[in-house]
Amino acid sequence: MSAEVITTISPTTNEPILTRNGISAQELEQVPDVATSAFHAWRSTALPDRQIIIKKALKILADKQDDLALELTVQMGRPIAYTAKEIATAVKRAEYLLKISDDVLKDTDGEPEKGFKRFIRKVPVGPVLIIFAWNVSGTDTGAGHGTRRSDCIQYPYLILVNSLIPALLAGNTVILKPSPQTPTIVEQVAHAFTEAGLPNGVIQYFHSGSPTIIESIVRNPKIALVCFTGSAAGGLAVQRAASDRIINVGLELGGKDPAYIRDDVDIAWAAEEIVDGAVFNSGQSCCSIERVYVAEGIHDEFVAAIQNVLKGYRIGDPHDKETHLGPVISKKSKETIEAHIQDALDKGAVNATPDNATFASLPAKGNFVVPALLTNVNHNMTVMKDETFGPVIPVMKVKNDEEAVKLMNDSEFGLTASVWTKDTEKGYALCEQIEAGTVFVNRCDFPSPDLAWTGWKTSGKGATLSRFGFDQFVKLKSYHLKDYPK
């Protein structure tokens, strides 16, 4: 018997749309055993053969792009105009990791010396547990959340390929635990890989909203690595569960990502970019812009430009191809976002959100949040400190570059940050001073597959993407071979 029944609630209607049986403690005990058994064969499979299977699976997922996109819209509320892009981007990202795998996983030679052969080999670590979104509070089965935000389930295909593809290429077996909000994603991925010829047991998945279940498998001695994507609170819970074991725990956590607008920018262009970076997907991205610092000389003009951009945004039914913004993922997320806005207003912020017909006529059901433009904000406000994870644009006036960098670094998070300026060399120099794992000049909210995705401070530890994204999925084995004396 399963220990629980997990119900997925539509963020668009707040009505049940899916149920899944959670795994029982007895069933869970078998999962690492199966992964371990499958690992012995999969690790011996030649890399070219692994690559062929993965390439076939990616083609299967790409061919089902429209069906998968509709599932995302139904389960997450992201507008249908954008969900197919996630599938295409996930496949493209995986293809890059596939392309570099030969070079990344090859042996590294030691110093040449007559009579000796020395080299370093990268070998798989074993069964890998990949968790994306863990409901640490136990009060919201629609989406896992910690004390400050909903977990990062808003791009489930993207965050999954970050770990899944290098794990498989390196020769590991994988156990997936998805968010209760998007249960079909792992089912679709597992089915695609099975159809592509992946041996039984190399990929497994289970559904659960129980911290006890998750803690149990994290502590299982057959699990060699844990990868978690979600909130800081969820990441800390996973790390605590693994604290009495000597294994790596990779954490991709949240952000409070800042943008600095210097006074030399094209204001209309920068406003378009900032609004997109802040409210796309209703602001539900770990690397969305959550703080905006603007040079005081252009502050008022920039705010007016943002208002002009927001007037063109449509919020409403995510199945309508004309919709820009759908609902946020859960009632709790909506409450958190609204609490951040109210805290700012109570402390002197100004709601500068422009009039917009669709903002005034939200659907009667669902977790819809009007994009909020806030001015006169400061760092005493929650909206400038804690992760909001919603469509809020707080704008703060700064005197100069030095003040901007100081404020950008005044955060417990350090995922991404951006500088917007015509002087790209100056932008680069400012980025050198910014405490974040990814820094942009004149761009934002864009994980590049060839660059390491890594969080500083509370935003996480370890790295995915790029050649460095393979590191956690291998362990090094040094070979020191001496010719037999004649």
Same-domain check for residues 304 and 196: no
Same-domain check for residues 25 and 116: yes
Look-up of token digits 């390491």: 452
1 has pLDDT over 80:
no
CATH number (domain holding residue 124): 3.40.605.10
* Residues spanned by the domain of 347: 257-441
Reported as a single tens digit per residue, the pLDDT across 360-409 is 999 989 999 999 999 999 999 999 999 999 999 999 999 999 999 999 99
Residue 197, in any domain of the structure: yes
Same-domain check for residues 244 and 110: yes
Reported as a single tens digit per residue, the pLDDT across 121-175 is 999 999 999 998 754 443 333 333 333 334 456 899 999 999 999 999 999 999 9
Residue 30, in any domain of the structure: yes
CA distance 204 to 34: 9
Helices 25-42, 211-218: axis angle to 10 degrees equals 40
Same-domain check for residues 164 and 58: yes
Q: What pLDDT score does 134 carry?
A: 59
Reported as a single tens digit per residue, the pLDDT across 176-192 is 999 999 999 999 999 99
CA distance 370 to 153: 21
Portion of the chain with pLDDT greater than 70, in percent: 95
33 has pLDDT over 80:
yes
Lowest mean pLDDT among 33-37, 64-68, 144-148, 444-448: 144-148
Q: What pLDDT score does 144 carry?
A: 34
Query: Which residue is catalytic, options 71, 86, 252, 273?
Result: 252
Reported as a single tens digit per residue, the pLDDT across 437-447 is 999 999 999 99
Reported as a single tens digit per residue, the pLDDT across 45-55 is 999 999 999 99
232 has pLDDT over 80:
yes
Q: What's the whole-number mean pLDDT along residues 32-52?
A: 98
Residue 450, in any domain of the structure: no
Residue 483, in any domain of the structure: no
Q: What pLDDT score does 100 carry?
A: 98
Q: What pLDDT score does 91 carry?
A: 98
Residue 484, in any domain of the structure: no
Same-domain check for residues 121 and 147: yes
Same-domain check for residues 286 and 242: no
Is-catalytic flag, 252?
yes
Same-domain check for residues 226 and 81: yes
Reported as a single tens digit per residue, the pLDDT across 206-217 is 999 899 999 999
Q: In whole numbers, what is the pLDDT of the chain averaged over residues?
A: 94
Q: What pLDDT score does 353 carry?
A: 98
Same-domain check for residues 284 and 222: no
Q: What's the whole-number mean pLDDT along residues 245-251?
A: 97
Q: What pLDDT score does 137 carry?
A: 42
Residue 138, in any domain of the structure: yes
Q: What pLDDT score does 154 carry?
A: 81
Look-up of token digits 């409210």: 279
C-beta of residue 15 within 8 angstroms of C-beta of residue 217 = no
Total number of domains in the chain: 2
Same-domain check for residues 197 and 310: no
Same-domain check for residues 354 and 232: no
Portion of the chain with pLDDT greater than 90, in percent: 93
Q: What pLDDT score does 343 carry?
A: 98
Q: What's the whole-number mean pLDDT along residues 301-314?
A: 98
Same-domain check for residues 237 and 278: no
Residue 129, in any domain of the structure: yes
Q: What pLDDT score does 158 carry?
A: 96
C-beta of residue 332 within 8 angstroms of C-beta of residue 297 = no
Residue 325, in any domain of the structure: yes
pTM for the model stands at 0.95
Same-domain check for residues 158 and 70: yes
CATH number (domain holding residue 396): 3.40.309.10
C-beta of residue 250 within 8 angstroms of C-beta of residue 227 = yes
Q: What pLDDT score does 136 carry?
A: 46
Reported as a single tens digit per residue, the pLDDT across 95-110 is 999 999 999 999 999 9
218 closest CA partner among 184, 266, 193, 250: 250
Q: What pLDDT score does 133 carry?
A: 73
